[in-house]
Structure 1
Amino acid sequence: MSWAMSSLLPIITEILPMILPSTTEVTHADQLKPMLDNEGRSIRDSAIVGKCDKMCASVLRIPPNSWSPIHHNSEQDAIINVVSGTGTLVVKEGFKGELRHHELHPGDFAFVPAWTEHQARNDSDQDLVWVITQSGPRPVGAILTDWGGQEIKTIE
């Protein structure tokens, strides 16, 4: 990069947000749209999806004594933030790895790498609510028959 071009970078970064159209998006709780329902055992709602190409957010709600399907998020990494309830994040580390159980409480965060098989479990008597941020414009992945099992449904 030439000296002249590098000297323009600070100016460009200040002007660019003023030139490019952008809009702040707000999704209120009563506007959440279900995108995946596991026969009532877990419900995943779209919160902020398709607004940019680098990330999206959804809300996972799991009633008492219920669980999500065993799944992976394909090529997307995910960050989980526990909003309410106590639950367990079960993960299979690697292809032949054993299952690891991570108990999560309100305020906790967890990072789930791409392609990692995992499941959310709620063995308590209260609802479990997680906000999940994924590294793509909309959540993707696949539901599996079992740990290391076949894909039975694609999440798109």
Structure 2
Amino acid sequence: MSWAMSSLLPIISEILPMILPSTTEVTRADQLTPILDNEGRSIRDAAVVGKCDKMCASVLRIPPNSSSPIHHNSEQDAIINAVSGTGTLVVKEGFKGELRHHELKSGDFAFVPAWTEHQVRNDTDQELVWVITQSGPRPVGAILSEWGGQEVKTIE
């Protein structure tokens, strides 16, 4: 009988989310909580974090004439939605790749694959606001000393 039950486990794990009630949750703008502050040069706030096991969302705010540290999102893919301001997404594609600069304006989207080194730059006189959706329950990654450099801080 235990063999029969174990063969049902994959099916049950697929069906349970469909039959168990789940709750819609709303995070108001005044409820955002900081999860990473790079000495005021870039601030990341938790928006929807730890609510499910497959994705999370945070808000990245970069003051005028500032930038995020060079970092990667470890094993998580990320989708960026530029909410306000104009910024530059700088990415290093692959181990020997050259830096590519992508200007993002309000309403634009970008996809950043897992482990891709990147940086967000705001060279304007207005605050930059992006919503970052990552493929895990909470944002993870690492801040690097430089492009291709050592990890100096883990993001968990």
* TM-score (norm. length: structure 1): 0.89
Residues 1:72 and 2:72 are matched in the alignment: yes
Q: What residue number does 2:87 align with?
A: 87
Cα root mean square deviation, aligned: 1.6
- Structure 1 unaligned runs (5+)? 1-8
Q: What residue number does 1:120 align with?
A: 120
Matches within 5 A, 1:103-142: 103-142=103-142
Partner deviation per Cα, 1:103-132 (whole Å, 9 max, x = no partner): 000000000000000000000000000000
Matches within 5 A, 1:1-150: 17=18, 19-150=19-150
Partner deviation per Cα, 1:59-98 (whole Å, 9 max, x = no partner): 0000000000000000000000000000000000000100
Partner deviation per Cα, 1:6-33 (whole Å, 9 max, x = no partner): xxx9xx97x964x413110100000000
Q: Distance in 1 between matches of 2:133 and 2:122?
A: 20
Q: Distance in 2 between matches of 1:101 and 1:16?
A: 41
Q: What residue number does 1:5 align with?
A: none
Q: Secondary structure at the match of 2:53?
A: coil
- Structure 2 unaligned runs (5+)? 1-10
Amino acid at match of 2:82: V
Amino acid at match of 1:71: H
